[in-house]
Amino acid sequence: MGKSRKSRLVKPATLERGEARYFHGRTKILDDFKKLLGRARDGNSGTSFLIQAAPGAGKTALLAECGRIAGGRGYAVAEVEPSWFLDPQTLYKLINLSWKGWRTWLDHGSVSIDHGPVKAEIVVGGNANNPLEVIKSGEEPLLLLLDEAQRLARIVRKQGERFIQLVDMLKVIHAGGTGRPLILLAAGLGATAQAFKDMDISRFHTGCRIDLGRLKEEPTRAILQDWLLEDGRAKGDPARWIDGIAKETHGWPQHIMAYVLSALRQLKLTDGEMTEAGLQTVLKEGREGRDQFYQARVDEFESKELRCIALAVADVQPGERISKEDIMDSLLQDFSREKARTIFRLALHKGLFDRQKNDYIIPIPSMHDWLVSNFGGKHR
């Protein structure tokens, strides 16, 4: 592989989210994104690129990879938060990524910015209270990375004057009307596409609206091999361990990492020897890590709420669709209609459900089983 076999064990927190150490798969998505980068530069324009996926599908890692590619092609890359679009002053935090775009704001007063390692006194001028004008102020290519974009759904429901400014700005970006090569790459859970639709943004260019699923078998195995050989310094053929882990992770990047963390610990204990006992420990600890991930997804729900959700899907096979009416009927057994709607929205926001055409699914089969077994009680 041409890489050093030197062990690079890292803290678990750095593996759960963010840039992927070893990136495989998503070839078609990245090819479409690269083409968009070129079209935006050639046409001095841009648009929105939307990625919607279940929790643990690798959205954040994909955003990081797209940012790396764009940066290598002359784009300034900035990570933004949904709330920043409602507060023009916070957009000045882009100053540490792109100086050219802010020269038009010089000599009109100042505002203090403290963003990571950069502390700057920069100026406020022109239409500084208009977020669209802030975005349009530069000339160089710019990629905005918006993770957890499903949070826009909550902003949409608030309405108000700032909401109107947000919608206007997102529409101009989507239509390529910023007067510069500017792409908004937004990634979020199941409520993301609906949030854009509620802002009358539903038609995306070909290849710019992605429903991200699990990895296929080949990239799953390639990722596992890289981790075992490069970071775990595994000795010999890792096929047996790869087979065992791949069978249980079903191509979900977050699950892969839960098992990888255990595998790295085991390989460190055995100086790289891949024993059968070690593999069984990896599988056991990987399942526990997977369950901890599911528990974290439901920590904002009460047990009674989860019981209603579990009962709604108890008679549905993992991966099969269920209607919103059936989910609501189960919630209405114990809650008012208003409360049931709030629970349903939270379930979308947390990724328990993902929209499939006009119906919904629990996107990860093992999460479906976990919900039913832990909260379903006696099935209907």
How would DSSP label each residue in 309-347? HHHHHTTS-TT--B-HHHHHHHHTTTS-HHHHHHHHHHH
* pLDDT value, residue 163: 75
Q: Are 250 and 214 in contact (CB under 8 A)?
A: yes
Q: Is 177 inside a domain boundary?
A: yes
What is the structure's pLDDT at 119? 34
The burial of 147, by beta-carbon neighbours within 10 Å (0-12 exposed, 13-18 middle, 19 or more buried), is given as buried
| Domains contained in the chain, number | 3
> Residue 180: which CATH number?
3.40.50.300
Query: How far is 73 from 68, CA to CA, in rounded Å?
Result: 9
End-to-end CA distance of the chain: 53
Per-residue model confidence (pLDDT) at position 250: 86
Identify the domain boundary among 163, 183, 212: 212
pLDDT score of 213: 86
Q: Is residue 107 included in any domain, yes or no?
A: yes
* DSSP 8-state code for residue 193: H
- Which contiguous run of DSSP H or E holds residue 280? helix 276-297
Q: What pTM was estimated for this model as a whole?
A: 0.76
Confidence (pLDDT) at 34: 96
| β-bridge partners, 287 | none
168 and 111 inside one domain? yes
Which of 187, 212, 237 is the last residue before a domain boundary?
212
Q: What is the pLDDT of residues 142-163, one digit of tens each?
A: 899 999 888 887 776 666 666 7
pLDDT of residue 87: 64
CA-to-CA dists, residue 146 to 104, 119, 260, angstroms: 25, 23, 27
CA distances from 43 to 144, 177, 178, 207, 234 (A): 18, 11, 12, 18, 49
- Would you say residue 1 lies in a domain? no
Question: Within this chain, do residues 336 and 223 fall inside the same structural domain, yes or no?
Answer: no
Parallel, antiparallel, or unpaired for β 359-361 and 354-356?
antiparallel
Task: Compute CA 281 distance to the chain's CA centroid, rounded to the nearest angstrom.
Answer: 29
pLDDT for the residue 131: 67
Residue 120's DSSP bridge partners are 113
Q: Residue 6 falls within a domain, yes or no?
A: no
Q: Which of 269, 297, 325 is the last residue of a domain?
A: 297
Q: Do 283 and 311 belong to one domain?
A: no
Joined together, the tokens standing for residue 290 give 């997977």
**What CATH number does residue 315 fall under?**
1.10.10.10
Would residue 8 count as lying in a domain? no
Residues 288 and 360 placed together within one structural domain of the fold? no
Q: Does residue 317 belong to any structural domain of this protein?
A: yes
DSSP 8-state symbol, 231: I
Q: At what angle do helices 239-249 and 276-297 cross, to 10 degrees?
A: 20
Residues 312 and 251 in one domain: no
Structure confidence by residue, pLDDT tens digits, 283-320:
999 999 999 989 998 999 999 999 999 999 999 998 89
User: Same structural domain for residues 94 and 206?
Assistant: yes
In a domain, 18, yes or no: no
**226, 205: one domain:** no
The reported pLDDT for the residue numbered 110 is 37
Residues of the chain with pLDDT under 70: 1-18, 85-131, 156-162, 378-380
What's the burial of 185, exposed, middle or buried (CB within 10 Å: 0-12/13-18/19+)?
Answer: buried
Does 46 map to a domain? yes
Residue 188 sits in the same domain as residue 223: no
N residues, the chain: 380
Residues 192-217 as b or e (16 or more Cβ within 10 Å = b): bbbbbeebebeebeeebbbbbebbee
Amino acid in position 38: G
Biggest alpha carbon–alpha carbon distance for the chain: 69
Q: Are residues 39 and 177 in the same domain?
A: yes
Is there a single domain that holds both residue 148 and residue 250? no
Tell me the residue range of the domain where 362 lies: 303-375
Element containing residue 72 per DSSP (H, E): none
Residues 356 and 267 in one domain: no
Are 170 and 34 within one domain? yes
Specify the DSSP class assigned to residue 93: G
How is residue 58 written in tokens?
């690798």
